[in-house]
């Protein structure tokens, strides 16, 4: 099939079980054993799990006590974010040897546009292989990669041959790859959406492709257009070296549930202090403050207020957060509080992307 948009050479690099792998690397006694980074207590949560732990169904965001129940021999280690950041910087330094078009998604993954690269290498596949080897040599850790014509397909592909592998989806393979793809593997399709699609008889990319744009719009709202185009290999989002954050926030989970607003004020002040520090570091201010409340039964509630001016100081943040806290009666005891600031002074209006049908025969050396 011909494509009606410019083809790029995109690599998605994803470190393998990053936090847990760092712990196993730094402590050889943990190698080959089921490891979870996080807390194993009743209130603890798994931040990351080694591949040995994943065999027992241990996953990130899982409650610690459930993880331990699934895997009685599970070893919990406390997270060391400064160490993870240190290694992440080492990994990124490898990326910049090849291109300045690097868009980090988190400490352990990033997109790279190597259409034009510093090595003058026409093969994105070989570049990905070199990058993974250099990461291993530099950090002792493995990474996986996906290579294709856009960010969506590259991200999906990077999960195919994990751990320590890579997959290239060449331009001429894109359509078949997407048609055969399990709908659960589509980036942006979560559990709830997947179940909704199942009920509509949509199990694969090919099933999705049979649905009209109008049907997808009516059924999935603004996401419908996204699904319509990505299944056709159209995803025009460029690699953005300087990602502009849409919000900045901080939150805290408590060892004991809090049942009164009075007990929460000190916690909110600490959270506001941390948020102010992050805002100052990034030189960001915002207008919309959101208070996040997670109750003891894990239900989540958010309360927001938009001010007519930008703020970044803890005093104003705290004042508004308190106002939101007292806005209505708490539904239950509280296990987590968070404050975030959005509607930032860094935001810019996005230009609408147009998809025009122009048949162009393109060949690319991947």
Residue pair 151/11 in contact (Cβ under 8 Å)? The answer is no
b/e per residue, 116-126, with b = 16+ CB within 10 A?
ebeeeeebbbe
Which one from 103, 109, 238, 331 is the annotated catalytic residue?
Answer: 109
The residues, any chain, with a CB within 8 Å of residue 94's CB and separated by 6 or more, are 131, 134, 135, 138
Instruction: Tell me, yes or no, if 109 is annotated catalytic.
Output: yes
Sheet holding 46-49, edge to edge: 46-49, 35-38, 75-77
Q: Which ranges in the chain belong to alpha helices (H)?
A: 18-26, 51-54, 64-70, 81-95, 124-139, 151-157, 174-180, 191-199, 205-209, 213-220, 223-230, 261-282, 314-325
d(CA 21, CA 159): 17
Residue pair 264/325 in contact (Cβ under 8 Å)? The answer is yes
DSSP states of 99-134: -S-EEEEETTEEEEE-SS-TT--S-HHHHHHHHHHH
Quote the longest CA-to-CA distance of the chain. Answer: 67
The residues assigned a catalytic role are 109
């Amino acid at each position: 099939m011909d494509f009606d948009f410019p083809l790029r050479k995109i690599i998605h690099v994803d470190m393998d079980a990053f936090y847990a792998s760092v712990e196993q690397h730094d402590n050889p006694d943990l190698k080959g054993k089921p490891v979870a980074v996080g807390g194993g207590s009743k209130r603890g949560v798994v931040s990351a799990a080694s591949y040995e732990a994943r065999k027992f169904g241990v996953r990130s965001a899982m409650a610690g006590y459930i993880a331990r129940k699934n895997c009685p021999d599970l070893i919990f280690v406390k997270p060391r974010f400064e160490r993870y950041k240190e290694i992440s910087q080492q990994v990124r330094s490898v990326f910049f040897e090849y291109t300045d078009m690097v868009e980090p998604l988190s400490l352990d993954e990033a997109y790279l546009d190597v259409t034009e690269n510093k090595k003058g290498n026409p093969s994105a596949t070989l570049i990905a292989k070199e990058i993974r080897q250099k990461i291993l040599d530099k950090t002792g850790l493995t990474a996986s990669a996906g290579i294709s014509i856009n960010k969506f397909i590259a991200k999906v592909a990077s999960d195919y041959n994990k751990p320590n592998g890579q997959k290239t989806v060449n331009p001429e393979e894109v359509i078949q790859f997407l048609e055969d793809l399990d709908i659960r593997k589509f980036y942006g399709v979560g559990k709830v959406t997947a179940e909704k699609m199942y009920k509509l008889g949509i199990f694969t990319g090919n099933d999705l492709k049979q649905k009209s744009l109008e049907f997808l719009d009516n059924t999935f709202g603004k996401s419908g257009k996204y699904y319509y185009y990505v299944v056709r290999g159209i995803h025009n989002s460029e690699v953005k070296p300087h990602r502009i954050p849409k919000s900045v926030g901080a939150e805290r989970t408590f060892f004991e549930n809090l049942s009164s607003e009075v007990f929460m004020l000190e916690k909110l002040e600490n959270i506001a202090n941390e948020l102010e520090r992050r805002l100052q570091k990034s030189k960001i201010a915002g207008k919309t403050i959101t208070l996040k409340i997670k109750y003891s039964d894990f239900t989540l509630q958010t309360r927001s207020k938009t001010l007519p001016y930008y703020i970044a100081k803890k005093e104003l943040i705290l004042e508004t957060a308190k106002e939101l806290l007292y806005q209505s009666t708490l539904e239950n005891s509280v296990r987590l509080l968070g404050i975030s600031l959005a509607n930032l002074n860094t935001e810019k209006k996005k230009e609408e992307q147009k998809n025009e049908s122009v048949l162009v025969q393109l060949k690319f050396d991947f």
